[in-house]
A and B are shown apart, each in its own frame.
Chain A
Amino acid sequence: MSFNLSDIFKFPGGVHPPEHKVESTTQPIRTLPLPKKLVLPLRQHIGHIPKILVQVGDHVLKGQLLAEAHGHVSAAVHASTSGKVTAIDEQVIPHPSGLPDLCITLEADGKDEWLKHAPLDYLNMERSELIRRIAESGIVGLGGATFPTHVKLRPDAKHPVSTLILNGAECEPYITCDDLLMRERADEIVHGAMIMQMLLGSTECLIGLEDNKPEAVVAMNAAVAKANFNAKVVVVPTLYPSGDSRRLIALLTGKESPAKGRTTEIGVQCFNVATAQSLYRFIAHGETIVSRIVTLTGNVAQPGNYDALLGTSVRDLLQAAGGIRDNTDDYVMGGPMMGFSLPSVDVPMTKAMNCVIASTPDLFPPPPMEMPCIRCVACADACPVNLQPQELYWYSKSSNLEKAQEYQLFDCIECGCCSYVCPSHIPLVQYYRYAKSETIAQERAKRSADLARIRNDERLARIEREKLERAKKHAERTAKSENSGDNNEKKAAIEAAMARAKEQKETITPQNVENVSANVAAEIAAVDAARVQAAEKPE
């Protein structure tokens, strides 16, 4: 099972930020006490909002389905403890926009009573049935991407998957939840991977870890050997962002996923280790996803990893980590390279929340004054996508959005390497987020303008048609008495109207808005708000 270092490939660029992982790895994973109240946002994943199945006042059990996956890409939400649904309303969620979103609030009854659940007889199940069941599990990518897992496990005849990759690289500084999970629950991860292997029909399984996690490597190797699973644990050099799935795939296979396509086009599917573990818990025990492991670190009294119920407020989390220490002025969700400041400490923990860093002005000092770009291309040397950040900056700053797109703005993964190395302290990524959101907002504005024109054309046509119809009806009425075809006509009209409405709705949604980072989504919200304000302003 050993792997030669020479078998490891490379990706361009990358940086070595200080790791700060030791702080949170001295203690084993601890379990949080049951909170009194849990708030479950419906949108904890990429994709459509799920359909709510409960009402205020309902008593629910732990693991019970509260909202079911709705649409092609969507994920279910479950009760993370037993108790009463006390509210279904909009609340502030952990999103950089700080905007509220629909949430289900549970009041815990303190019993933490599970819904009856049983292992799935997955070996004797139709594959499609199994996928359908997994769609009910609520499992999404737990590395932070939160893409619904069952969608990635669906068989795709056009792009068969030959290589399954488990991502245990965890390259962001401070975050250690996957490290601890691999150390303590390696067996479950490996069994999850075996189930994935079976579902995908892949023939090879590679598990990628950075070389700063020797304990996890040992544990994973042991688990692979114990399970007699034909997988390779591959240790890659510590280099941010090796944990980005496309970078990791390149490291392990030497293949580049097409920029505009999916990784399956090169026969690879990649999952986070925690996702595999959750899948195992669901298949082997029937447990839907109700908790996750979160790293609490930075300016807290007891940094470490905590197994916490989804919906627990960040305030409760930090309390459990011994509370915050003096001077804390900000809470960062995710790592320092790609994370964002939480809008409030009262937001709930979601499936995406792998880490919360209590920060102080010393820990993350405000950046020094922004200087002009000196074209030193330190940024280009650091970019893992091989972009030219200094050009993107130039075009983003001057709002030359077309040029920015020509320089592949949308290939930027917002990893922050460029900002990290820039001697002029230019917040480059922030410029790209702005340019991306502005592009999307403009596209959307253009589409709705087109739509308005179409609507107007339709209205004129309708008026014309109605005039004709009235004339016709008038003529008919004079010929003979009324008949009862009216009802059908109405139905048809309603159907047509509905079809039209549906069509319109589809045209409004711009394509890439679903897959942008949370930070960009926040920017879009800001841009939209500004637009609304501008529109409301009297001339």
Chain B
Amino acid sequence: MKFSPFFTTNTSVSIVMLKVLLALVPGIIAYVWAFGSGIVVSLILASATALLAEAAVLQLRNRPVMPFLLDGSALVTAWLLALALPPIAPWWLVVVGTLIAIVIAKHLYGGLGQNPFNPAMVAYAALLISFPVIMTQWPVPLELTTIKLSFIEQWQYIFNHVLPSGVGFDAMSSATPLDYLKTQLKMHHTMEDIHQAKFFGMFAGKGAEIVASMYLLGGLYLLHQRIISWHIPVAFLTTLAVISGVFHWVNPAHFSAPLFHLLGGATMLCAFFIATDPVSGATTPKGKLIFAAGIAVLTWLIRTYGGYPDGVAFAVLLMNILVPLIDANTQPRVFGHSK
């Protein structure tokens, strides 16, 4: 016997996840263009690890493997983590990170839909705490270097830590702009001087700002497809812009400009792909605004005063903790009720 409604829309978790992956593609292309093909190696590594781990855990948990493998959620987690990690990180970092995300952050909490924390961010934070040095070494934008590693060379470097002869690691890596900025500020250099550094682009890190713009583009696609609602990106970006804007206006020598914050670090990735993770985020309209604004404030605080280069991961995880509280206190008014 069937029950009403007798038909449903032609949608599924797989389609939703597929669209998210699709929305990441422009950002990935820009990434390759700006930093070389190392990121592709990381993406492949993370995807393979995620699918294998997912399949193994599902088998262990006695759940149907195929439907859950095909739901695409493991791939989304893998891609987000890979995109958050430095693309010249050794292979095992990607693998360990993905395992943490899938096995611990997702399945130990009950699998799809049950995890209170964003799995990719759990893994990122765990890696950052455990391997701080590797996690802060980023490739120099291709534009600024004559060293252009081929895909095979990238592959070799990532797996065997072997660089072509004559190329030193220092020549191809550097701190991230966010990181650099913080160290320089500590050395009492002014913002203007710091921005003279060669890896600063128009607003933020050279190359990185293009990648960020492409994430924005992908995010607009998700909005258009109604995979995400406007609340989280808008509240997150506006709050970040306002708070950084106010401080920048008060003391431009000491505080970065809003655009630096918006196009730098993982801001755009967070706004459209990470903070918008439905499972671990707030669900009510008002709750989403509070949740996203909270992430923005924490991100800015950690970036400005914290010990880590970027604050997005910790900000998201901290706000994840508050989600049940936020949701419970922001229930919308039910039709026909006075409040």
Contacts and interface: CB of A to CB of B under 8 A. Distances in A.
B15 A423 contact: yes
A391 B332 CA distance: 12
Contact of A369 (B2, B67, B113): B67
B334 interface: yes
B4 A416 contact: yes
Indicate the member of B3, B16, B281 with the most A CB atoms within 10 Å.
B3
Interface of B: 1-9, 11-13, 15-16, 64, 67-68, 71, 73, 111-114, 226-227, 229, 278-279, 281, 283-284, 327, 331-338
Contact of B335 (A11, A335, A359): A11
Interface string A337-378: 111110000000000000000010000111111011111111
26 contacts: A15-B9, A18-B7, A246-B336, A257-B336, A259-B336, A334-B4, A335-B4, A338-B4, A338-B5, A371-B113, A372-B111, A374-B278, A375-B278, A375-B283, A377-B278, A378-B11, A378-B226, A384-B335, A408-B334, A414-B4, A421-B8, A421-B11, A423-B12, A424-B12, A427-B3, A430-B3
A364 B334 contact: no
Interface centre among B6, B8, B71, B112 (most CB of A within 10 A): B6
Given A386-B335, A419-B5, 11 more contacts: A259-B336, A260-B336, A338-B4, A341-B2, A359-B6, A365-B7, A381-B226, A386-B333, A388-B283, A420-B8, A425-B12
A364 B2 CA distance: 9
Given A371-B112, A386-B335, A519 B4 contact: yes
A19 to B, nearest CB: 12
B13 A258 contact: no
Contacts of A419: 5, 8
A408 B5 contact: no
Nearest to A423: B11
A337 B16 CA distance: 23
Contact of A258 (B67, B112, B283, B336): B336
B335 A422 contact: no
B112 A408 contact: no
Contacts of B12: 368, 371, 423-425
A433 B4 CA distance: 11
Contacts of A366: 2
Contacts of B11: 378, 421, 423
B283 A420 contact: no
List the 10 closest A-B pairs by CB distance, nearest first: A259-B336, A416-B5, A372-B113, A364-B6, A336-B6, A376-B278, A385-B335, A423-B11, A375-B278, A337-B5
A235 interface: no
Contacts of A378: 11, 226
A380 interface: yes
A336 B283 contact: no
Contacts of A374: 13, 16, 73, 112-113, 278-279
Contacts of B114: 372
Most buried by B among A335, A376, A427: A376
Contact of B113 (A18, A373, A384, A430): A373
B4 A375 contact: no
Interface in A251-275: 256-260
A408 B281 CA distance: 23
Chain A: number of interface residues, binned into ranges? 35 or more
A499 B222 CA distance: 66
A23 interface: no
Residue of B8, B11, B229, B281 ringed by the most chain A CB atoms within 10 A: B8
A259 B8 contact: no
B3 A429 contact: yes
Interface of A is mostly: loop
A421 B16 CA distance: 12
Contacts of B113: 371-375, 424
Contacts of B229: 377, 381
A17 interface: yes
A423 B335 contact: no
A369 B8 CA distance: 13
Contacts of A514: none
Nearest to A336: B6
A336 B334 contact: no
B278 A246 contact: no
Given A341-B1, A374-B112, A374-B278, A367 B334 contact: no
A404 interface: no
A411 B112 CA distance: 29
Contacts of B111: 372
A227 B114 CA distance: 61
A12 interface: yes
Given A372-B114, A373-B113, A381-B229, A423 B16 contact: yes
Interface string A70-105: 000000000000000000000000000000000000
Interface string A424-465: 110101100100000000000000000000000000000000
Contacts of A364: 2, 6-7
A371 B13 contact: yes
A371 B67 contact: yes
A390 interface: yes
A330 interface: yes
Nearest to A98: B1
A193 interface: no
Given A371-B67, A377-B283, A423-B15, A388 B331 contact: yes
Contacts of A180: none
A205 interface: no
Contacts of A283: none
Contacts of A373: 113
B16 A376 contact: yes
Q: Which of A364, A372, A407, A419 has the most CB of B within 10 A?
A: A372
B70 to A, nearest CB: 10
Nearest to B11: A423
Contacts of A433: 3
A351 B141 CA distance: 74
Given A258-B336, A388-B284, A425 B3 contact: no
A408 B16 CA distance: 29
Contacts of A233: none
A340 B4 CA distance: 6
Given A341-B1, A375-B113, A408-B337, A423 B67 contact: no
A387 interface: yes
A314 interface: no
A358 to B, nearest CB: 12
A160 B257 CA distance: 62
A309 interface: no
A11 B68 CA distance: 36
Interface centre among A18, A338, A377, A519 (most CB of B within 10 A): A377
